[in-house]
Amino acid sequence: MPDVLVQPLLAAVLAAVAAGPVGALALVRRDTYAAAAISHGCFAGLGLARWLSVSCGLAWFTPTLGATLAAVAAALFLALSPAARPGRNDAALSAVWAVGMAIGLAFLAATPGYAGSLQDYLFGSILLVSRADLWTMLAFDLVLLAALALFWRGILAVAFGPRLAALRGAPAKLYGAVLSLLAALAVVLLVRAVGIVLVVALLALPALAARPFAKRLVPMMVLSGVFAFASLAVGLRASWRLDCTPSVPTVFCAAALALLARAVRRPRE
């Protein structure tokens, strides 16, 4: 493999570490649309970071910091707001999605001399990760894995429904917020790899590919991470050969794995 792809490949490993567990949990909870809403909501933070950097000279307010703050705000709103309770959840998700994008576009429009491309934010490119990005992704992964280990019993109860959480005496609201915050961390980490638009694909499709082969949640998380890494690696290789952005072949590969897994397992069901 060319040396120029080594750093993006390390980023693919770090992205897969987050995509596997969070994607499996989102699939089990039937909550992948929440990840999509959070990813689009974090566009507000990206636009704010750009505006503060250019207009106010706050270079320390990086796009990653802006995206993190916006994603956390969106996650907490979806987890704790009365507007996001069952029966209204679709409206809350749509609101986070639309308002986040609108705020981001407003900040970019207000940025003096802004001549960037929205494609940088919407579709990303894992080829452009820096060494600083790798350290940030590693830090996010460590926080995510530590939170999973610390809150595992409660997360497991909430993941399979409020009734199980009640039977185990787990505060469903608290652990629901933890799950939303984990999704926010994963979203910010994955935005650098595939962009805002395709984050949900990298969370949902590897998990869908893993589900037919794993009856328990932990093996499903691990296998989902393996499929996520395989998709990113194939996307990198294809982008090198075809001279295109890696995000598109990454998603095509993940979709193919999900379809193949379903086709292979169906005759045995």
Fold of 3-197: ABC transporter involved in vitamin B12 uptake, BtuC (1.10.3470)
- Residues 27-39 have a mean pLDDT of 86
Q: Break the chain into its structural domains and give their ranges.
A: 3-197
C-alpha separations of 180 from 12, 35, 94, 184, 235 in Å: 23, 8, 16, 6, 28
pLDDT tens digits for range 74-133: 988 888 776 555 445 777 888 888 999 999 889 888 888 765 666 667 777 788 888 888
- Residues 21-47 have a mean pLDDT of 88
Q: How confident is the model at residue 231 (pLDDT cuts 50, 70, 90)?
A: very high
Question: Does the pLDDT at position 170 exceed 80?
Answer: no
Q: In whole angstroms, what is the distance from residue 89 CA to residue 95 CA?
A: 10
- Residues 11-37 have a mean pLDDT of 89
Q: What is the pTM of this model?
A: 0.85
Question: What's the pLDDT score for residue 12?
Answer: 92
178: its two tokens: 């933890």
82: its two tokens: 């009365």
Q: What is the mean pLDDT of the chain?
A: 84
Q: How confident is the model at residue 162 (pLDDT cuts 50, 70, 90)?
A: low
Q: How crowded is residue 116: how many other Cβ atoms within 10 Å of its Cβ? A: 10
Q: In whole angstroms, what is the distance from residue 265 CA to residue 213 CA?
A: 8
pLDDT tens digits for range 171-217: 777 778 888 899 999 998 888 778 887 888 899 999 999 988 888 88
Question: What's the pLDDT score for residue 165?
Answer: 62
